Amino acid sequence: MKQNTIVTLAVIAGLLLAARAPAAEETAIRPQTTCPVTGAKIDGKLCVDANGKRIYVCCRDCIAAVKKDPAKCIRKLEDQGVTVARLQTTCPVMGGKINPKLHVDADGKRIYVCCQGCVAAVKKSPAKYIRKLEDQGVTVARLQTTCPVMGGKIDPKLYIDADGKRIYVCCPGCIAAVKKDPAKYLKKLTEQGVVPADTPKQEHGGTGAHDENPH
């Protein structure tokens, strides 16, 4: 009798696990790997942010196509079972709606919060809150690490301030290129999913070129 009971329980447990298996598969995260426009492999540096989501594409031509109807592209990806990357909309500390003007920059990422109190909390342990957001499937905003002109590693002492944003470059030669058309390079950074740094309030319209040649 005891052996029959054990066998029966084992069978029931097996059936329960089998019943739960499809649900586990349904909730599994399937990251985007193909462009919703052409179906080609995505370029991880090219994307469009819309409707709280980040849509990656394969080339710059597809950026324009996605911008025309981002909802259609999001729907297409989700119909394919793709988990479209989510942008941060809630504070990782309190869970409230973020204030775009309040954030902490750390480890190459920008963490938005809801209030000044949460700024202090995130500063104490930024890695903890970055991990918390990523565990929720949120794509944490990236800070600039490469030059928009040459693609090399930025020099923090070299930059152009334009439209309230600071564009870092890799060398003095790239400063001239950005000065000619800062809007072009701000757009390029945005399309790469990068959040350009804000220009410090006391330094609007400046350039970091002088740091290479101090007076």
Per-10-residue mean pLDDT of the chain, 215 residues long, equals 54 52 53 95 93 94 96 96 93 96 94 96 96 92 95 96 95 96 94 89 57 37
pLDDT score, position 116: 95
What is the distance between the alpha carbons of residues 181 and 7, in angstroms, rounded to a whole number?
Answer: 75
pLDDT score, position 212: 38
- Tell me the H-state helices in the chain: 2-27, 60-68, 70-79, 116-124, 126-135, 172-180, 182-191
pLDDT score, position 9: 52
- SS3 (DSSP) at 46: coil
What is the value of pTM for the model shown? 0.69
Q: What is the identity of the amino acid at 130?
A: I
pLDDT score, position 88: 95
Q: Which secondary-structure segment (H or E) carries 85?
A: strand 85-87
C-alpha radius of gyration, the chain, whole number? 23
What is the distance between the alpha carbons of residues 113 and 133, in angstroms, rounded to a whole number?
Answer: 12
Which residues are paired to 110 by β-bridges? 105, 141
